[in-house]
Chain A
């Protein structure tokens, strides 16, 4: 089985996803597919693309579901991709060393040349973040856009994962979660960012920001209730009187 880096650097690159503002538009998922279709793990094969059972490789998927009841009920849009765990089960189970975690930035990658398509990693990953490409018989996954974030051929401002660059609401953030002073770490701190399923023990690097409290009840905006004297005392004629005596 595959070891983790013996001397990892403190750098932990990852994503922070804001569930307070994700509207479930799938922009991140499609932009990811588009960039990566021609990128490091290209292609992201689509089987039966125009037929009855279209099935493609996606590194990032958005799930929409409902949670809670009554007034506490909400519709949740939940983007899901590799969390680049500190102790990634997918790497630990890999029999060939194909799955590995980079020492320098913590990104979890797959070396396709070594992958035998045994799918152990996808069984091990509690997040379901691995995508098997049936066409070529190897496992594929989010690379954190490793061919963008260091890419000297693109403008510096654009050296972020495609999903972050494209997100219309600005719900996705990229940075070094190993540096407590980084903007992204401070965001996690300020917004009580959390680990997805910490009980699985994988110590994910990516964090999710929970929805903020909703401004729903009376007074949440600071408003005071309008006076409620019975309409008969005011009504239209009352209004006319008020206006004429102004």
Chain B
């Protein structure tokens, strides 16, 4: 990175540290913080969408859709989430490869041969000829789906509760004005449910932040992966030999997460105040009285 970094063995002190912290691998380590933020940025809306769908489905008038929604929302209960994080990506991967193998391969060859899951080269996902970043991106894609499925179920739970918490009189008034069920949903139910949903959703966001290190379990090169890689003891064979520093790398990650949760809490306090404005709740009433 810096011009004086050409011969690391001659350096010491701060100069050594500044060169050490700007090596190519360290740049990848810093970029992996971006991966975590990217995962959060993609997963949160997708999970909210899943949750919204699940909540609407479990309120549906059609029995089949309602049952689907109920089963989806109760699916994650009672089972450790990490099982889903291990299960969903493999299951999805195999489903995609199986579908592709029916199209691109000889359909007479079974995919499961004893203990092996074999598809021909043309059906592999991603193709073995594709570059490394495609493999990484595919891994992240599967992780996003897994996170969205699990957190979608939880968001559905929260949103379902919030929809039930909207005062019934409000919906009945809307009906009395001659609104169709759709209009009631769009104009009355959905705008009002957020203030009830916010505590649950804020909680969920905190949990989502704290779930991101599980990317490591899914085989994505995330911060945990790089902390273990870079922190491990390096011998003279490497340009920057050092003893086992994993403790310090993990401390840095810990601080990163503490800052994230602390910042989020401040943010949600603001939104909570904004959403309570003009609502028929205790908090909204207190704000109304406090206003001059």
Bound pair (A, B): no
